[in-house]
């Protein structure tokens, strides 16, 4: 969500940004907002004048009442003036109420339109309509294609009796799973290792609420994302989180944060719940695209001048994490059309799949500028009392069980065992491999 003052003063910049996002259907909204904003400010000015008139008329009623009590006063004439002024006060009050009602209509209309105007993207973002125009930035580690077949990830898990999709379908339907034995332990170990990895990098560990109010949902994501992702709790003003970023940034809704507390660098664990509504669909055989998963996240709240520096720190953390587990990765710059509306810039981390002989997404790093802070009414206060909006950023450390796909494929040996990298062994009972 951008600043309405910026839109008012730079309508062509906002329109050009909409074009870069390939959302031309939103172009008329800019002119509509400007027109409504003119009316809004006009009503506010007129209402302020009416309130002054009402106060003056009320004072005249008070003065006339005092005058009517003076010796020799023409009480009948004065009381007629009192009634006339009272009627004027009431008439003005009716006009003020009418103005207030219209003002609310206009402000609601402006706000609903502002909520769907995309954020101004960073100049470095490549321009393209969809993810096919994302740009590879850098590779880390050497992709290996072994001289033996790498089975489908669900088949690898089944080799160790580690996955039960049939039971999950009976219990919950497609998009759910049971992890068992060493595969379940591997899943938990990766999460625990990710937690400690981020703590060692100076982030504060947090376990947040897994359900949030609608006001928080609207503060942290676009309406399109909300419709495609969020599960609503029937009969409650609560939604299941799609990522812990939602409740982590929402923690600061309506809060004024002293500047000396910045930067706030948090790493959070949570289960995540997603409809996965759209073209991709839910995978029936494996655990790549599912309704429920767990994730270790990074969230940063910082001064605007520092947000790009933090952006680079965050995605590098994910790259470093995967490399300690012997998984080759690459970074991919998201193009304009692939950015969610609140994002200024985004970079995906993709892991190498020896079976598919290509990379696939395992994490996404995003700079949202001040969009979330503006929606959530989160502000920073300086020592002199002045206030400003901070920038918010988030990034995935790791999100198993999808990450297990990359882990198992890259660490699978010819004899069917799976090597445990040294960094993960303390979390796996010091095992150096998973055996059949």
pLDDT above 80: residue 278? no
Domain spans of the chain, in order of start = 4-114, 131-434
Q: What are phi and psi of 273, to 5 degrees?
A: -130, 125
| Confidence category of residue 228, pLDDT binned at 50, 70, 90 | confident
Range name among 64-78, 86-100, 179-193, 254-268 with the lowest pLDDT average: 64-78
Closest to 368 in 3D by CA, of 392, 395, 351:
392
pLDDT of residue 1: 81
| Angle value at C-alpha 176, between 409 and 404, nearest 5 degrees | 20
Q: What is the CATH number of domain 131-434?
A: 3.30.930.10
Alpha carbon distance 220, 115 (integer Å): 11
Alpha carbon distance 28, 54 (integer Å): 39
Q: What are phi and psi of 296, to 5 degrees?
A: -105, 125
pLDDT of residue 277: 65
Alpha carbon distance 327, 349 (integer Å): 12
Q: What is the CATH number of domain 4-114?
A: 1.10.287
Alpha carbon distance 253, 242 (integer Å): 18
Alpha carbon distance 349, 331 (integer Å): 5
Q: Which residues contact 283 (CB under 8 A, 6 or more apart)?
A: 175, 289, 290
Please say whether the beta carbons of 427 and 189 come within 8 A: yes
Alpha carbon distance 410, 351 (integer Å): 10
pLDDT of residue 320: 98
pLDDT, mean over the chain: 94
Alpha carbon distance 54, 60 (integer Å): 10
CA 1 to chain centre: 11
| Confidence category of residue 70, pLDDT binned at 50, 70, 90 | confident
Alpha carbon distance 413, 395 (integer Å): 31
Alpha carbon distance 404, 283 (integer Å): 15
> How many residues in the chain?
436
In tens, the pLDDT along 378-392 reads 999 999 999 999 999
CA 336 to chain centre: 17
Beta bridge partners of residue 419, listed in sequence order: 433
Range name among 272-281, 310-319, 352-361 with the lowest pLDDT average: 272-281
Closest to 260 in 3D by CA, of 300, 299, 303:
303
């Amino acid at each position: 969500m951008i600043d309405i003052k910026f839109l008012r003063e730079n309508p062509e910049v906002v329109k050009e940004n909409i074009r870069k996002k390939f959302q031309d259907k939103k172009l008329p909204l800019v002119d509509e907002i400007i027109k409504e904003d003119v009316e809004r400010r006009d009503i506010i000015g007129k209402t302020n004048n009416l309130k002054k008139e009402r106060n003056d008329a009320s004072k005249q009623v008070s003065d006339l009442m005092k005058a009517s009590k003076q010796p020799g006063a023409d009480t009948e004439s004065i009381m007629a003036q009192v009634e006339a002024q009272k009627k004027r006060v009431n008439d003005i009050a009716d006009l003020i109420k009418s103005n207030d009602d219209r003002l609310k209509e206009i402000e609601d209309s402006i706000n609903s339109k502002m909520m769907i105007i995309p954020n101004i993207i960073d100049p470095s973002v490549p321009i393209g309509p969809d993810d096919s125009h994302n740009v590879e930035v850098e590779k880390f580690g050497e992709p290996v294609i072994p001289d033996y077949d790498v089975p489908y990830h669900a088949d690898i898990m089944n080799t160790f009796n580690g996955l039960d999709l049939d039971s999950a379908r009976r219990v919950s339907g497609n998009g759910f799973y049971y992890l068992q034995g060493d595969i379940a332990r591997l899943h938990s170990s990766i999460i625990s290792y990710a937690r400690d990895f981020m703590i060692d990098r100076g982030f504060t560990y947090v376990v947040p609420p897994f359900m949030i109010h609608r006001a928080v949902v609207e503060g942290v994501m676009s309406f399109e994302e909300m419709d495609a992702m969020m599960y609503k709790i029937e009969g409650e003003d609560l939604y299941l989180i799609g990522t812990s970023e939602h409740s982590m940034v929402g923690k600061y809704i309506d809060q004024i944060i002293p500047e000396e507390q910045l930067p706030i660098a948090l790493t959070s664990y949570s289960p995540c719940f997603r409809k996965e509504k759209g073209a991709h669909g839910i995978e029936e055989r494996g655990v790549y695209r599912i309704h429920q998963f767990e994730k270790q996240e990074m969230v940063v709240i910082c001064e605007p001048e520092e947000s790009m520096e933090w952006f680079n720190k965050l995605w590098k953390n994910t790259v470093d994490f995967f490399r300690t587990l012997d998984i080759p990765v690459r970074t991919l710059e998201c193009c304009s059309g692939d950015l969610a509306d609140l994002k200024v810039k985004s970079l995906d981390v993709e892991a190498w799949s020896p079976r598919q002989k290509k990379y696939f997404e395992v994490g996404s790093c995003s700079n949202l500028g001040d969009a979330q802070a503006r929606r959530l009414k989160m502000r920073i206060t300086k020592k002199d009392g002045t206030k400003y909006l901070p920038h918010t950023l988030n990034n995935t450390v790791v999100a198993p069980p999808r990450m297990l796909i990359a882990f198992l494929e890259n660490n699978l040996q010819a004899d069917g065992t799976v090597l445990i990298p040294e960094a993960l062994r303390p979390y796996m009972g010091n095992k150096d491999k998973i055996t059949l």
